[in-house]
Amino acid sequence: MLSISKRLLFGILLISSAIQISFAQQKLNPSAKLSEDAIKEQRLRWFREARFGMFIHWGLYSVPAGEWKGKLVPGLGEWIMNRAKIPVTEYEQLTNQFNPVKFNAEEIVRLAKNAGMKYIVITSKHHDGFAMYQSKVSKYNIFDATPFKRDPLKELADAARKAGIRLGFYYSQTQDWHEPDAIGNDWDFKNESTKNFQKYLDEKVKPQVTELLTNYGPIGLIWFDTPRNITKEQSRELVDLVHKLQPDCLVSGRVGNGLGDYDSAGDNQISVGQVRRDWETPVTMNDTWGFKKDDTNWKPTAILIQQMVQVSSRGGNYLLNVGPTAEGLIPQPSGERLGQVGEWLKVNKDAVYETRPSPFQYELPWGIITTKPNKMFLHVFKWQKQLTLFGLKNKVRKAALLAGKKKLKFKQTNDSALDHYALTLELPANAPDKYNSVIELNLDSDVSVDAALMQQADESVTLPAFLSNVHKPDEKSAFRFDSRGVAERWLDKNDWLDWNFKVSKPGTFEVFALTSEQKYGANWEGGHKRSKSKSAGQKLKATIEIGGKEENPANPYWKYVVSKVGTVKIDKTGSFNLSLKPETIQAEKKLGLTLVSVKLIPVK
């Protein structure tokens, strides 16, 4: 399966002059009209401060709960109709069994509020086509077609409004497995040529979206999903409809064709790179969105808090899912975790809501940073007796733990020859919080940092691909970064990267390259041989091979593949340049060199 490939050449050059860093930054999309911009800014105001919301996937699929005709169906709970190819007439029978009498909107809103969530997004109609509210457009809805005879969305809208929580509706605009003219059901409605998608859009989607934006008070957002083959025109029609009915209502990025008010990250996906636009990431607490009785793969609370903070530190919102049962109850493990996140937020809320991104574009070895004007919050996941942060130019006025407000001793130094700033904090022996202990720094002015890549206090150096200088000799090269910030379509061996970075503790380092698997399938491309070049002149030759795999909680679908590239010796402090030039790239699978980062780890 493996073959020799991707010979790399690493060159490390000593640069005496001050380093020049020019990160390629993508520009914000300049909008056509100012007034339109102003309206959009207004619409996004609450969203930009919210940081944390509850996603609710609830529908007919909670009745089979992952099992069909005595067999467990693999995959997502809400996809069971598709995965088991259940005919519409059979799936419709589930309505007779759907009587979620334990549904309690106020209880759910209380749970969300206690968890510290600022908004709720619930499925009004998922891909199965079943409306979870009283719809005049289609009788295939919870009020008219089940013994329940209640409108849970109405109840939720009332409860949310009372509690001051914003409500949004998920609406599957393209896939609707119940409708012959919609996309997705290729087992009942096989004949593609007779499908009239526009008819479905005009006769079901638009009238239902109109109901949702007319009968439930002010709605925070419509969460369209899986755009598939919707045209730009059609996406535009939906966006315009939403904004016409409720100008303050946001439209999710998944309306398609880049027309949403904000970006949705791929689900369960947290970008490693700086995110350009307003964004949100939807995340499951286990592996499914809609309830599945056999899915007990719950994420630990520590991971949920870490992900939430990580999203905050990149300016995004964390939309955490719960999947109520057919009785209308939120599974106990979900409730328990929400309670724990809420307890943490009660103490540490200042470090999350209304925060701004970390000024550092790279990850730090001990945790995560969020900021506010004249303030910095250090979220320490890996507790240590002494914590050193490099690159902060401000004078620190005060450092204290958020929990208990205990003041901390600190020292600041600046090595002017290297233009290197260091802040060292003395911490108590034990972490005050078992999930994430936060240190608040009060600064003399607004946060100002040295943007250069640099060696960290653990003496390691990480050079993320997305912070490299990209060289594409052939303009037509397809090289780019995916939404995680991982190199994608690096198929041309003439493309190369280089980085400048500062070293404050010289030594010998092992050099590793981190590449990424592909989502699902665990596809990866690379070779199995590695040869180190003889040249002691800091040139390394290696083949990317599987030296080990690393899990990344922020991106649970992909593992990182670690390859050892060689050893370098850096015998003085200063600024260095590292370049990475492929000799050959193996690209049969069209994945190519999926570089995440290059790491230098000190040999002790």
Chain contacts with ligand JFZ (rule: CB under 6 A): 76, 78-79, 225-226, 266-267, 282, 289
Instruction: Kindly tell me which of 265 and 443 has the beta carbon lying closer to ligand JFZ.
Output: 265
Contact 157, 214 (CB under 8 A): no
Residues 6+ apart with CB under 8 A from 35: none
Tokens (6 digits) for 468:
């490299």
Smallest distance from the beta carbon of 268 to ligand JFZ, in angstroms? Answer: 8
Smallest distance from the beta carbon of 85 to ligand JFZ, in angstroms? Answer: 16
- Output the CA–CA distances (angstroms, integers) from residue 334 to 159, 242, 301, in the order listed: 20, 32, 10
Smallest distance from the beta carbon of 150 to ligand JFZ, in angstroms? Answer: 23
Contact 543, 528 (CB under 8 A): yes
| Amino acid, single-letter form, for residue 466 | F
Smallest distance from the beta carbon of 379 to ligand JFZ, in angstroms? Answer: 26
Contact 192, 160 (CB under 8 A): no
Instruction: Kindly tell me which of 251 and 443 has the beta carbon lying closer to ligand JFZ.
Output: 251
Instruction: Kindly tell me which of 288 and 515 has the beta carbon lying closer to ligand JFZ.
Output: 288
Smallest distance from the beta carbon of 79 to ligand JFZ, in angstroms? Answer: 6
Instruction: Kindly tell me which of 129 and 282 has the beta carbon lying closer to ligand JFZ.
Output: 282
Instruction: Kindly tell me which of 57 and 113 has the beta carbon lying closer to ligand JFZ.
Output: 57
List, as one string, the DSSP characters of 250-299: EE-GGGSTT-SSSEEPSTT---SS---S-EEEEE-SSS-SS--TT---PP
E strands in 243-284: 250-251, 263-264, 279-283
Smallest distance from the beta carbon of 307 to ligand JFZ, in angstroms? Answer: 15
Smallest distance from the beta carbon of 55 to ligand JFZ, in angstroms? Answer: 7
Contact 402, 440 (CB under 8 A): yes
Q: Measured between alpha carbons, how far apart are the two ends of the chain, in Å? A: 35
Instruction: Kindly tell me which of 180 and 266 has the beta carbon lying closer to ligand JFZ.
Output: 266
Smallest distance from the beta carbon of 334 to ligand JFZ, in angstroms? Answer: 16
Instruction: Kindly tell me which of 225 and 492 has the beta carbon lying closer to ligand JFZ.
Output: 225
How many Å apart are CA 486 and CA 464, to the nearest integer? 8
Smallest distance from the beta carbon of 173 to ligand JFZ, in angstroms? Answer: 12
How many Å apart are CA 600 and CA 570, to the nearest integer? 11
| Amino acid, single-letter form, for residue 386 | Q
Instruction: Kindly tell me which of 136 and 228 has the beta carbon lying closer to ligand JFZ.
Output: 228
Smallest distance from the beta carbon of 61 to ligand JFZ, in angstroms? Answer: 9
Instruction: Kindly tell me which of 78 and 295 has the beta carbon lying closer to ligand JFZ.
Output: 78
- Output the CA–CA distances (angstroms, integers) from residue 217 to 39, 89, 109, 122, 261, in the order listed: 20, 34, 16, 15, 20
Smallest distance from the beta carbon of 226 to ligand JFZ, in angstroms? Answer: 5
* Nearest-5° Cα angle at 172, 168 to 177: 150
Query: For the sheet containing 461-464, what is the strand order?
Result: 461-464, 595-602, 507-516, 560-570, 549-550
- Output the CA–CA distances (angstroms, integers) from residue 50 to 116, 380, 525, in the order listed: 10, 22, 39
Measured on CA atoms in the order 453, 455, 457, 460, is the torsion positive or negative?
positive
How many Å apart are CA 517 and CA 512, to the nearest integer? 16
Instruction: Kindly tell me which of 78 and 151 has the beta carbon lying closer to ligand JFZ.
Output: 78
Of the candidates 541, 546, 539, 597, the one whose C-alpha atom is nearest the C-alpha of residue 565 is: 541
How many Å apart are CA 268 and CA 260, to the nearest integer? 19
- Give alpha helix (H) positions in 326-477: 332-348
Instruction: Kindly tell me which of 267 and 450 has the beta carbon lying closer to ligand JFZ.
Output: 267
